[in-house]
Structure 1
Amino acid sequence: MMKQKEVVGITFVNENNQILIQERGSYSKSGEDYSFFGGGVEENDRHWLEKLKKNWISIWI
């Protein structure tokens, strides 16, 4: 069985459908130059994540 890890990612898109990405530079873990914003979710972050999802979903509906 594969180890599971919960993560969250955010994609910012402007009115011209341009996507904002993060330049990794010296923070690169695997040699990547660019990545999306996000990271792992700790157990004590779970309630904030649920609140964010609920608020963002209600904005787009």
Structure 2
Amino acid sequence: MIKTYLKDLIYQVNGCAIEVHKHLGPGLLESVYHNCLKKELAIRGFNFQTELTIPVNYKG
């Protein structure tokens, strides 16, 4: 069941990204695509978080 759920989730998120790219085309800043993808995910009812902070241990 989890494998099917994840496969469907990936399909839907990819669909959101494709929709954004179809409307905007190539060549814009990442931040533009990021904001539009957030809107597209919200339109489709996704519950998500963005720009999360993760700890990184670099060179000790």
Above 0.5 in TM-score? no
Give the strand-richer structure, 1 or 2. 1
Task: Give the structure-2-normalised TM-score.
Answer: 0.33
Q: TM-score, normalised by structure 1?
A: 0.33
Q: Which structure features the higher share of helix residues? A: 2
